Structure formats: C-alpha cells, structure tokens
Amino acid sequence: MLASVLTTNLAILVLAGFIGFVVISKVPNTLHTPLMSGTNAIHGIVLLGGLLLLGFSGLDGLSKALLVIAVAFGTINVVGGFLVTDRMLDMFKSRPKPAKPAEQPAEEQRAEPKDEPGTGEGA
C-alpha cells in the first residue's frame, strides 16, 4: 500500500493535534499568558514558508516584495514572541531576594517598568 504525501501529512496533523491537547491541558492557569505568547512565537514558524518560497525560481518583483514582508512578519512573531515570553517567565521564578536576577545572561535584562498614572478601570 502506498501512503500518499497527503495521508502521511494528515496523520502528522491529527497526531500533533492530540499531542497539543494533552500537553497544553497540563499548563496551569497561572501560566496562561506566557503560554499564549509562547505558542504565539511558535506559530511564527510560518517564517519557514516565506523562506521556502523565496527559494523558488521565477518569482517576480511583487512576489519577492510580498515574501520579504512575510519573512519580516514571521521574524517579528518568532523573535518578539520568544523574547517577551522569556521576560515574562523570568518573573515567575521564585526570587529569594527581590531585584537580584543576576544569574540571567545579558539578553534578558528587563526594561524597568515605567509607572504611569491609571487611566481607567473595567471588569
């Protein structure tokens, strides 16, 4: 029996869906915001689509321009997503002495939160 590319990929799709449900179900409410921004970064993987297509021959100017934008968008999604998740998760680590996160490499230096007066309130 020949399994076609389609059915193989469908199998991967379905299995990935189930794995996703199992793994994500274990994430506690506390970490839902980092989960969102982390999965956000992961779907930035569409970047690969842009990179793949840029390798095609015979792309015209418009296609190239669209792909550069797509790659830029995907990169924003990936780089920004992982970085912001890292910043966020860093705060969840229990710190015995506040304001002493010196064990982190330099790229994790967080901008000091700037306090601004509140402007509203809601639910």
Partner 1 sequence: MTSLPLATSFLQAENFIYVLYIVAFALFIQGLRGLSGPTTAVRGNRIAAVGMAIAVVATLLIPSEGNWGLIALGIALGTAVGIPAARNVKMTAMPQMVALFNGVGGGAVALISWVEFRHYGSTYGSLAIPLTNQPVLGDTFHPAIPTYVAIFSVFAAIVGSISFWGSNIAFGKLQEVIPGRPISFGSAQQAVNLVLLILALAAGIDLVAGAHSELLFVGMLVVAALLGNAVVLPIGGADMPVVISLLNAFTGLSAAATGMALNNPALIVAGMIVGASGTILTNLMATAMNRSIPAIVAGGFGGGGAVAGAQGAGEHAGTVRSTSAADAAIQLAYASHVVVVPGYGMAVAQAQHAVRELAIELEKRGVDVKYAIHPVAGRMPGHMNVLLAEADVPYDQLKEMDEINPDFQRTDVSLVIGANDVTNPAAKNTPSSPIYGMPILEVADSRSVIVIKRSMNPGFAGIENELYFDPKTAMLFGDAKSAVAEITAELGQL
Using DSSP, state whether 76 is helix, strand or coil.
helix
Closest approach, Cβ 1 to partner 1, in A, equals 11
Q: Which tokens is 50 given? A: 């842009």
Give the orientation angle of helix 47-54 with respect to helix 61-75, to 10 degrees: 150
Tell which positions 7-66 bind partner 1, by CB under 8 A.
9-10, 12-13, 16-17, 19-21, 23-60, 62-64, 66
Task: Name the minimum Å distance from CB 102 to partner 1.
Answer: 15
Residue number with CB closer to partner 1 (60 or 102): 60
- Which residues are CB-neighbours of 104 under 8 A, at least 6 positions away? 90
Q: Which is nearer to partner 1, 102 or 117 (CB)?
A: 117
